[in-house]
Chain A
Amino acid sequence: MTHARTRTPVVAGWFTDAPGPDFRLLGTRCTACASVFFPREDAFCRNPGCTGGELAEVPLSQRGRVWSFTDGRYRPPSPYVSDPQVEWEPYVLVAVELAAERMVVLGQAVPGVSAADLAVGMEVEVVPGVLNEDADTTWTTWHWRPVEVAA
């Protein structure tokens, strides 16, 4: 008997639930000073020179360029979720510079990408991904994927 897991974002409101090409990270933008925040600020604009505006949800650019990257050769501690019975699979972390927002956003690379596949300045795009699964839930996240090797 198959057991359907619920797909739940690891953090609510940080990205759309749109599949495939419409997937976007979600930030907020101040209506007074146009500063963009990710992770989203919903209470106060953090620009000290701003008199304070409304914070409206805004999708971030889908593509950016690699600012830097690294990988995790050892199992990170909790609250990162991984099965200690399964051999640790290193994954890659990518810091991506978004030109329009003039900010750098960190994320995991899509599975299968290694540090050797990346270079600073390379173009990447944001895609939906799975962080981990437990009995009832598929915890979803965002991944960065090099544009050239898009499969």
Chain B
Amino acid sequence: MSGDIAVLGAGMHPWGKWGRSFVEYGTIAARAALTDAGLDWKQVQSVVGADTVRGGYPGHVAGATFAKALGWQGARVTSVYAACASGAQAIGAARAQILAGLADVVLVVGADAAPKGFFAPAGGERPDDPDWLRFRVLGATNPAYFGLYARRRMALHGDTVDDFAQVKVKNAAAGTLNPNARYRRTVSAEEVAASAVVADPLRLLDICATSDGAAALVLTSMDFARRHGTTDPVRIRAVSTVTPTFPRSVLDLPDIATDSAASVEPAPHSFRASIARAAYEEAGIGPEDVSLAEVYDLSTALELEWYEDLGLCGAGEGAKLLRDGTTALGGRIPVNPSGGLASFGEAVPAQAIAQVCELTWQLRGAAGDRQVSGARAGITANQGLFGHGSSVVAVR
């Protein structure tokens, strides 16, 4: 397919709280991806960095920061920021350059050194910023929105807090098999139930932590991959970076209210569902073709929503799919075989790239003890603050 690009290399710095600079993590991940690709850094024609933003200011602007750390060699540079979707935007920018013939070999890097506790907006008085306002006026943290979604699912679909806990149990079990995961021990439903409530009905172990970590990909044109001797690489077939349509009728971070649907009928599918639909359409595949999915389990309950938004089951059937074991390792469509955010914690600019690293290793059959047998196609899904869609389809 002419729209394909090749994933020649994938690399990560393990997630954790290491107390070092994000530049160091990103450089280690980049070197690992280059080694994995069998390429020298000097062969890279373009670097795309997913920006590390703390306190509203990017500090070292990612793309050139990584290019400098790896040793200035003159490559074209791009830096992108889209909150949690930054990684998908970086992959999207790299793909556009490759398909446009501007570069044959592009290095994509995202890395973070995360602050402690709740994510909070930058300081100062900024009443024109909706993200600042939701904290000032409501104290609405990210977990508060996750709590709203979880309670809504319980009321609408009959999900239980034990269903949510079982998502953590499943992802923690997968995480024990992943050397890059931060948390590598099994968690029981009893442990989830015994952890403190953060935002009713969600408990501490229902909500993902924030982590240090880095992920990198070496992306190339299909021609370059062939010339390099890689005849059957993992290919990226779709990158969905869509925005919502008006009126957006599901309350979402950081909004204080939804759009009004008083004058325009909302689209039949939610924004999250539209992210995946755009990816499937571009890839020319459907949910029935997917061997595995990596989704953004910022909370346990949110993972169940993604099952439905990805079309892995019908609306309201997410918990049933989980209870059936369909989405566990060994099930029909394992979701988050990497261990997900439950096992990693979120390293914002790295996370969507890490999702694609996992697809790459799974599609190569190189995922070790967490290998999804016969994996042929995988999809990632994620969404960045303010309406940044993020989904990647990779095939082999």
Name the interface residues of A52-108: CB closer than 8 Å to any CB of B.
67-74, 76-82, 91, 93, 95, 100-108
For residue A137, give the distance in angstroms from its CB to the closest CB of chain B: 14
Interface size class, chain B = 35 or more
Chain B residues within 8 Å of A36, by CB: 260, 262-263
- In the docked arrangement, what's the CA distance between A76 and B138, Å? 9
| A111 proximal to B (CB < 8 A) | no
CA distance A135 to B130 in the complex (A): 26
Chain B, range 254-269, C-beta contacts under 8 Å to A: 255-264
Q: Which residues of A contact B123 (CB under 8 A)?
A: 78-79
Chain A CB within 10 A, most for which of B150, B201, B262: B262
A23 on the B face (CB < 8 A)? no
| Residue in A38, A48, A70, A120 whose Cβ sees the most chain B Cβ within 10 Å | A70
Say yes or no: A47 contacts B246, CB within 8 Å: yes
Q: Is B99 interfacial (CB 8 A cutoff)? A: no
> In the assembled complex, which residues on chain A have CB atoms less than 8 Å from the CB atom of B246?
46-49
Residues of A within 8 A of B57 (CB): none
| Interface flag for B366 (CB, 8 Å) | no
Q: Once bound together, how far apart are the Cα atoms of A28 and B220, in whole Å?
A: 50
A70 adjacent to B147 (CB under 8 Å): yes
B75 at interface by CB-CB < 8 Å:
no
Q: Smallest Cβ distance from B365 to chain A, in angstroms?
A: 42
CA of A36 to CA of B259, assembled, Å? 8
Answer yes or no: B132 CB below 8 A from chain A CBs.
yes
Interfacial chain B residues near A78, Cβ < 8 Å: 120, 123, 135
- Residue from B132, B134, B200 in contact with A115 in the complex, judged by beta carbons closer than 8 Å: B200
B152 & A120 in contact (Cβ 8 Å cutoff): yes
In the assembled complex, A151 has its CB within 8 A of some CB on chain B = no
Q: Which residues on the A side are within 8 Å of B247 (C-beta)?
A: 35, 47, 102-103
Asked if A106 contacts B256 (CB within 8 A), the reply is yes
Closest chain A residue, CB of each to CB of B126: A79
CB of B151 closer than 8 Å to a CB of A: yes
Q: Does B139 contact A (CB under 8 A)?
A: yes
Q: Would you give the shortest CB distance from B143 to chain A, in whole angstroms?
A: 8
Closest-CB distance, B127 to chain A (whole angstroms):
6
Q: Chain A's nearest CB lies how many Å from the CB of B253?
A: 11
- For residue B331, CB closer than 8 A to chain A, the reply is no
The answer, yes or no, to whether B316 is at the interface (CB within 8 Å) is: no
What number of residue pairs across chains A and B have CB atoms under 8 A from each other?
Answer: 150
Cβ contacts under 8 Å, A104 to chain B: 249, 251, 257-258
The number of chain A residues touching the other chain, given as a range, is 35 or more
Residues of A within 8 A of B125 (CB): 79
* A95 with B251: CB separation less than 8 A: yes
A110-128: contact bitstring with B at CB < 8 Å (1 yes, 0 no)? 0000010001110000000
Q: Are A39 and B257 interface neighbours, CB within 8 A?
A: yes
Output the least CB separation between B152 and chain A (Å). Answer: 4
Q: Is A26 part of the contact surface with B, judged by Cβ < 8 Å?
A: no
**With A11-B127, A80-B136, A103-B257 as contacts: A71 and B262 at CB distance below 8 Å:** no
- Whether the pair A68, B199 counts as a contact (CB closer than 8 A) is no
CB distance A68 to B155 under 8 Å? yes
Nearest Cβ distance between residue B109 and chain A, in whole angstroms?
A: 29
B69 contacts the other chain (CB 8 A): no
Residues in B with CB closer than 8 Å to A33 are 263-264
B264–A47 contact, CB under 8 A? yes
Within 8 A of A (CB), among B107-157: 117-118, 120-121, 123, 125, 127, 130, 132-141, 144, 147-152, 155-156
Whether A35 contacts B264 by the Cβ 8 Å rule is yes
Chain B residue nearest in CB terms to A69: B151
Determine the residue in chain A with the shortest Cβ distance to B148: A68
Chain B residue nearest in CB terms to A36: B260
Q: Are A93 and B262 in contact (CB under 8 A)?
A: no
The CA-CA distance from A105 to B125 in the complex, in Å, is: 23
Chain A residues with Cβ under 8 A from B315's Cβ?
Answer: none
A10 close to B120 (CB less than 8 A): no
> Cα distance A121–B156 when bound, in Å?
10
Structural contact, B262 and A108, CB atoms closer than 8 A: no
CB of B196 within 8 Å of the partner chain? yes
Known: A77-B135, A101-B262, A104-B258. 20 other contacts (CB 8 A): A34-B263, A35-B262, A36-B262, A38-B256, A49-B246, A70-B200, A71-B147, A73-B196, A76-B139, A76-B141, A80-B135, A80-B136, A91-B139, A93-B140, A102-B261, A103-B260, A104-B251, A105-B257, A106-B251, A106-B256
Identify 14 residue pairs between A and B in the complex whose beta-carbon atoms are under 8 Å apart, listed by A's number: A35-B262, A48-B246, A70-B148, A71-B199, A72-B139, A72-B144, A76-B141, A77-B141, A103-B257, A103-B259, A103-B261, A104-B251, A104-B257, A120-B151
Chain B residues packing against A (C-beta within 8 Å): 117-118, 120-121, 123, 125, 127, 130, 132-141, 144, 147-152, 155-156, 196-202, 246-247, 249, 251, 255-264
Chain A positions near chain B (C-beta within 8 angstroms): 10-11, 30, 33-39, 46-49, 67-74, 76-82, 91, 93, 95, 100-108, 115, 119-121, 131, 141
Q: Lowest 9 A-B CB distances belong to which pairs?
A: A70-B147, A77-B120, A120-B155, A76-B139, A102-B261, A80-B139, A68-B152, A36-B260, A79-B136
